[in-house]
Amino acid sequence: MREGEVRISSGCAITGIIDKKGIRFDGSDIVKSIALMHDRSNGLGGGFAAYGIYPEYPDFYALHIFYETDKAKLKAEEFIDEHFVTENCGRIPTRKNAGIVEAPQIWRYFVKPNVAKILLSGHSEDEYVVKCVININSQDSGVYVFSSGKNMGAFKALGYPEEVGDYYMLERYNAYSWTAHGRFPTNTPGWWGGAHPFTMLDWSVVHNGEISSYGANKRFIEMFGYNCSLQTDTEVMTYLFDYLVRKQGLSLKNAAHIIAAPMWGKISKMEQLDKEYYTALRIAYSSALVCGPFSILLGFTGGMLALNDRSKLRPLIAAETAEKVYFSSEEAAIRIICDNPDRVWAVDGGKPIIIKVEGEV
């Protein structure tokens, strides 16, 4: 991976900020933080996830959708009208930015599932929405639902992340939790849908690294109705968390220990209870183990999870103040928006850090 004659040894950048009390703040700091790591990206993708941005529609799923053509939009809206009740919709506001070109139509719909359709399907409300989103995204129709959670949203594009933040005017949004990504793709194409974050319901993942176990992970997760169609390995990580936590009922900690499980040699030297715990997880969910170098930030309603691969082959730094917790690929990207944190440390390999806000969000 080269930019000119300089080797980018761990390209891609991620950063995240979460307020411990769920107090919302605008997107200026997250854009400033990710912009500092400009050289980790190459202009082939940038994006953000924000939680708490739609307090006027807290019980509605916010569908953010890319359309390539008017015909694609008409067909998708027919599907939405058949399967959902729409409270409000319109274009997502943007401003001109010289770095953002060939933009699709970008629309937003606040919807609730059609109750009769849910009863006929036999699914829960969340599962019904997942099935609908996968159905739309699986069609080669010029339509891509890139965000589908409640009171949250993803904003992404083909460009540098600071250009994307300016394009979507993120300083106008207020959220209690933000994540951001600057992309440097090495073996997958750069396109609007391939930019991070990848989402499903209120899960969102930004990722620095490469999933060498993608084939096995993809085959595993597609047995349960998911469809990896977005031409990038990171998509599977989002579906793994959704499957393990929402569908299997595991804790976030359990899911992280499956995805970044210790090696068998290390497990064999553990105390008996730990040995039994990790052995059970590895046997039961062997195909959900993610191999290769990675650092990720997982956003979810009311919190954020930070996770490194078990060998810590990608950088991930954490910092904390009385009010906020920060994560980033580089310490400098934290200090540019928080010059004097109470503490700074490196996230350990395979050991998740989970932050949940106080009170109700």
Q: Which domains does the chain have, with CATH numbers?
A: 13-356 (3.60.20.10)
Q: What is the pTM assigned to this prediction?
A: 0.94
pLDDT for res 229:
79
pLDDT for res 10:
58
Structure confidence by residue, pLDDT tens digits, 138-167 = 887 899 999 999 999 999 999 999 999 999
CA–CA dist 55, 61 (Å, integer): 12
Instruction: Please list the ranges in the chain whose pLDDT falls under 50.
Output: 1-5, 7, 361
CA–CA dist 167, 85 (Å, integer): 29
User: Which residues are the active-site residues?
Assistant: 12
pLDDT for res 7:
46
Contact 358, 53 (CB under 8 A): no
Q: H-helix or E-strand containing 222?
A: helix 214-222
pLDDT for res 174:
98
pLDDT for res 65:
98
Contact 196, 156 (CB under 8 A): yes
Q: How many residues does the chain have?
A: 361
